[in-house]
Structures are given as C-alpha cells and as structure tokens.
Amino acid sequence: MSHPAKSAASRGPREWSPEQAAEITKILARYPTKKAAVMPLLWMAQDAWDWIDLDIMRLIGRTLELPPSHVHAVASFYTMFKKAPTNKYFFQVCHTLSCALVGSDRILAHLEERLELDENGDSKDGLFSVLRVECLASCGSGPMAQVNEHFYERLTPEIIDEVIAALRSGQQLPEPRREADQWIFPVS
Amino acid sequence: MDFPRILSGNWDVPDSHLLSVAKSRGVYSQLPRALAMAPAEITQIVKDSGLRGRGGAGFPTGMKWSFVPPAEKRQGKSVYLLCNADESEPGTFKDRYCLWLDPHLLFEGMAIASRALDCHVGYIYLRGEFRYIARRMEAALAEAYAAGLLGKNILGSGHDFDLYLHVGAGAYICGEETALISSLEGEKGQPKLKPPFPAVEGAWRSPTIVNNVETLAVVPWLIQHGAAAYKAIGTEKSPGTKLFSVSGHVQRPGVYEIPMGIPMTQFINEYAGGLLPGRTLKAVIPGGSSVPVMTPAEVELCSMDYESISTHAGSYLGSGGFIVMDDTTDLVAALTNLLRFYAHESCGQCTPCREGCGWMHQILCRVRDGEASEVDLGTLRDLADNIHSKTICFFGASAAMPVQSFLTKFRGEFLDRVQRRGAGAA
Ligand SMILES: Cc1cc2nc3c(=O)[nH]c(=O)nc-3n(C[C@H](O)[C@H](O)[C@H](O)COP(=O)(O)O)c2cc1C
Ligand code: SF4
Ligand code: FES
C-alpha cells in the first residue's frame, strides 16, 4: 500500500527511550552480530512509532553500525514493515486460494462498501485501513483477516458489521475468542 | 484405528501452553533421559525411526543431522539449530497449532536435538504475522528458563542451550532455509545457492540445522518410545503420524493427526467430514499450493504417504497442506489465484522466476477473463517448463508445478476458456 502524500512527511529525528535502550541491550545479547538485530529493532520502532520513516532507519543504522541504506533495503524487502501510516484498525484480509474458495471476495466487497475505501484502502471515516494479503496460515477457517495483531476467522458480513459498529462507537478491538478450532470475534 | 497422538495429544487440554500443564502431560519428561545419552545415540534413534522432515521436502532428519561436521573439523565454530516456523505455504496451517497449543513440546524437542548436535544456541523463526503467538511463546520460554529446562547447564547436565525467537516480517520466501538464514542474519530474505548446504555452512557461516516445527516436536516421543515403535506406525517409507491441514470444500476443515498410509478417500470422508451435500470432487492439492494438483481418479488410488502420492499422482505430500476443490470450483480462477501469490512472493533474484511468475499470472488473468487464445496456453506451458530447475531456489519449481499440472490434468477446462473467446468473437 502506498500513501504518497503521507509517506513524504518526515516526523523528525528520533532517539531511543531509556526503556528501549535497555531492550536493545537484551536483543543484542541474543545474536553473534549486531546486524542480526535489524529486524527486531525495526519491529520495536514500528511498535513505538507506528511506521518506519527515514529518520528511524538512520537511528537503527547508527545503533547497529550499519549504513542506513542497509536498513532501508531490509525494511523495504519485508511487507510488514510499514513505510507509511495506516489507520487505527488495519484489516489484512487473506485472498489466497483456500480463503478464496470459501468467500474471501465477499468479505472484501463487504468491507469496501461499508467502509467506503479510497484507492489506498483507507476508510472515509479515517478509522480503518484494508489490505489484501496472501496466505496467513489460517486456511482451514477462512474467510479470515488479521486485524492489527490478531487473527479473526470464519468471517461473515454480519460479523464484520458488528465489529465495525463496535469500533466506530469507540469500543476496543476485542481479543479473539477461541472456539473449537477457530479464533472468532467475541460478538454473538 | 489405534495410534498415538504424538503431536496433537495435548491440544484439547486447557492451558496446554503453560509449563505446569505441559509437565503434567509428560512434556520435558524425556529431556533428562536424552541429556544422559551420548549425542550420537540420539541421532541414531532419529535415523532409525525413519523420521522425514515435515517442512515439505521429506528429507530424512537423522541423516541431515549427521551432516554436521564433527567438532574437530569445525575450527571452533558453533553449531546453530533453527526451527522453521515461517509456515507460509498456502494451504498449510499445522505448525501454528503446535506453536500455539504446545510450545513446550517444541522446546523439549529442540533441547534434545541441541544435545545430539552439540549445539548451544537455537532460534525459532516465526513468520511476522505470528507475533500474537510469539508473545505467548516468550512467556513459555521464560517459564522454561526459570525452571532450568533451557539456558546454561540444563537440569544440572552440563549441557547449555539458549533458545530465542526471531520474528520475520511478511515474506513467504523466508520459509526456504537459506533465505531464512539470510533473514536471521539481518539481510534481505533471499535464498543462496546450495552447496554449501546449511548443515556444513549456514548461519554466520557455521554448521546449521534447519528443521520444521513438526519435525522437532516429534523428537521427544522418539526418545521415549524408541525408533521401532515409530516405525510400527505408518508405512515402510513414511513412518509415523503426520499432521495434515485440510482446507477448501470439506465439511470439517482443520488439522488432523493421522498415521501415514490411510486411504486418501478415508481421510477426506471420515476426518475432513466429506464434501458438502450434493457436491462432487473436482481436484485436490495434497501438499501445499506448490505441488502438482490431483484428479479425483488419482485421489481414489492414493493413500496419505510420500510414496503413494508420488507413484500414483506424480505429486508430493509436501507440507501436508491439503486443499479440496469441488465441482463448483473454477479451476482457471484457482490457478490464477495461485500464480498471483507466486508473482507477489518471488524474491526477484533470478530472472526466470521474477519475470516468469508475473508473466504467467498475466496470461492466466487473460485466460480467466476469456481474452486469451490457445497460443497463450502454449506460452504459459513454455514459461513453466523454462522456470523449473533454472533458478537459485526451489521457489521457481514451486510456481511452475501447479501450472504444468493444471494444464495437463485439466486441459479441457483451459481449452474451453480460450475457445469460448473464439466463439464469442465470431
Ligand atoms: C519456497 C520455499 C518455501 C518454504 N517454506 C517453508 C516453510 O514455510 N516452513 C518449513 O518448515 N519449510 C519450508 N520450506 C522448506 C525448507 O527449505 C526446509 O527444507 C525445511 O525447513 C527443512 O525442515 P525439515 O527437514 O524438518 O523438513 C520451504 C522451501 C521452499 C523452497
Ligand atoms: S527462484 Fe525465485 S524466489 Fe528463489 S531465489 Fe530465484 S527469484 Fe528468488
Ligand atoms: S489461504 Fe487464507 S489463510 Fe491460507
């Protein structure tokens, strides 16, 4: 997904907080080289600052004694490192074969209609982003989506509606509830 | 049928991810025994059991372990043990269950393997989308460390084994073992030419064993019951049980542990609950999206083991990702969907793969939409034939095999689509 307008925005130079610095010391102890910590640090930065901009890449480069271009190459290779912001609730809907066989298209069409998505997949109300993604290893309980960190399975248009309504009314994203072999939204 | 549930035995137990519960179920009971054994003795048990790697290639695990050079030939280099928990092959979702529901069984398996391999550091490479699982596993690791089951001087045996999680960030190719190693090292996740094989020169140019989650989780059972007991399950060339993840048009999709060798129809009808009412079977992909597709006639002939699927269907058991398609499926659309996946996931190093996957996908889109001719089907076939075995890693073949097999085994459906165009244009 690209947000040309948004990704151009720089948020200014960054520094690690003391907590982050302590965490980095622990991470470095796990590997024989500093370079190996580049993905863990990218994750840490994304958790703290939502997406990875050039200033963050420079910071990681300095921390690990790597050229920023290397950090950039790694960040670009992996799709989960966000190079632009997404909205608060990020639906990554699987559309690979097994999910397609059981109706992922229906879920995507429903999201598109309900959320009035623009060409970047961002909703009109600024609360949701939707992205089509490839297989998330949840093929037996499709259609499914990863919403922020959690997997939600056996989705139906009705479940989607309830969740959108709940989130729009300011409720927190519910943790999935495990039922038999699936993780479902805890809505009735 | 009576067979032990080697991998899934604890899945129904509430809170099976907690150390206390895992221990009450016998997890870690084999670790002291294994630590008292000579390393070569452990490897011998794994060899004798005939266990074959569950990541897709089915390579004999004990043999792989024995490729690690002995200490005197390692020039002081460490040995690394990597657990491949990248699970990204479409149709495959078994490792996720192992990781979520029984992480301690995997830790025990890895600790035992580390002893066999004279290895003191291991990593579990989890795909980025499994971060929610990583959080649970971090807690499980902390419990295991606190109990002296991992870390320095495990259970007073003098053996050290540090185990860490390493989380990917969305790239299918990182499941390929050399790409996984690149990714762990902090590089782009791109495969490398083999040889050297990782067992000789892998992570940080040290001997490295990469094994799938399921493979490593079998090891404690082998120590407890011995190689002969494992060989008594399954078939001669496919011993033991295996986790199959079944998806698509069946009544009960999910993960099933079964002894190898049961008839495929029995697996579909009894375990997976059969097809939906009124439907008939059209096609099955037996081992994850990368293996050749099977026809219903081949399904009738096959059993759930390595040799039967390759003999009777020219396909592979692969990762055990079993995708069932009934008569409502548009197979042209199904193949187009898969090629979109491969076009998206090619790492881009090899021209045949990078260009070929995208090109095959474009042709397939046109076939699907009724805008292609029979000549395009020929081009498609040529492209697939020219990618297979002409690339750095096996990904190229993984994209080619679905195309080759769909075009051969379901030719009519593709011809129908290109000829209808002729009819429409007339
Ligand atoms: C394109 C590609 C993707 C792969 N993805 C995975 C994967 O997600 N998980 C896995 O365990 N093995 C995967 N493999 C196989 C690994 O390269 C390796 O053979 C395996 O992890 C070895 O473990 P095993 O001996 O226990 O089977 C993949 C191979 C290729 C060529
Ligand atoms: S075959 Fe494809 S995925 Fe494998 S190294 Fe070449 S370009 Fe990358
Ligand atoms: S195909 Fe959707 S999760 Fe695997």
Query: What does the pLDDT look like over A80-122, one tens digit per residue?
Result: 999 999 999 999 999 999 999 999 999 999 999 999 999 999 9
Question: Would the CB atoms of B171 and A32 count as touching at under 8 Å?
Answer: no
> Nearest Cα to B255, choosing from A139, A153, A134, A145?
A139
Ramachandran area for residue A126 (φ above 0: left; ψ -120 to 50: alpha; else beta): left
Of ligand 2's listed atoms, the one at least distance from the Cα of B353 is 2
Map residue B356 onto helix, strand or coil. helix
pTM to 2 decimals? 0.96
Range 17-46 of A in CB contact (< 8 A) with B: 30, 32-33, 35-40, 42-43
Proximal ligand: closest to the CA of B216: 1
Distance CA B142, CA B147 (A): 9
Distance CA B99, CA B106 (A): 8
Can you give the residue ranges of every domain in chain A?
17-77, 89-184
Q: Check: CATH 3.10.129.10 for A17-77? A: no
Give residue A9's pLDDT band: very low, low, confident or very high (50, 70, 90). Answer: low
ipTM exceeding the 0.90 mark: yes
Can you give the residue ranges of every domain in chain B?
19-231, 241-326, 331-425
Q: Between 1.10.150.120, 3.30.1950.10, 3.40.30.10, 3.10.20.600, what CATH number should domain B241-326 receive?
A: 3.10.20.600
Bridge partners of B224, per DSSP, are: none
Place of tokens 């298209």: A105
Range 153-172 of A in CB contact (< 8 A) with B: none
Query: What's the DSSP call for residue B87?
Result: -
**CATH T-level fold of A89-184:** Glutaredoxin (3.40.30)
Query: What does the pLDDT look like over A10-19, one tens digit per residue?
Result: 788 899 999 9
CATH dotted code for B19-231: 3.40.50.11540
* Whole-number pLDDT of residue A173: 84
Question: Would the CB atoms of A150 and B132 count as touching at under 8 Å?
Answer: yes
Interface probe for A, chosen from B129, B150, B213, B324 (most Cβ of A below 10 Å), is B129
Q: What is the mean pLDDT of residues A22-51?
A: 98
Q: Return the structure tokens found at B141.
A: 């690791």
The answer, yes or no, to whether residue B142 has pLDDT greater than 80, is yes
**Any A CB within 8 A of B172 CB:** yes
Place of tokens 């067992």: B199
The answer, yes or no, to whether residue B425 has pLDDT greater than 90, is no
**A17-77 against A89-184: fold identical:** no
Percent of chain B with pLDDT over 90: 97
Interface probe for B, chosen from A95, A101, A102 (most Cβ of B below 10 Å), is A101
CATH dotted code for B331-425: 1.20.1440.230
The answer, yes or no, to whether residue B421 has pLDDT greater than 80, is no
- Of all residues in chain A, the one with the smallest CA distance to B188 is A74
Distance CA B101, CA B133 (A): 10
Query: What does the pLDDT look like over B17-69, one tens digit per residue?
Result: 999 999 999 999 999 999 999 999 999 999 999 999 999 999 999 999 999 99
Sheet bearing B162-167, strands edge to edge: B162-167, B121-126, B80-85, B208-212
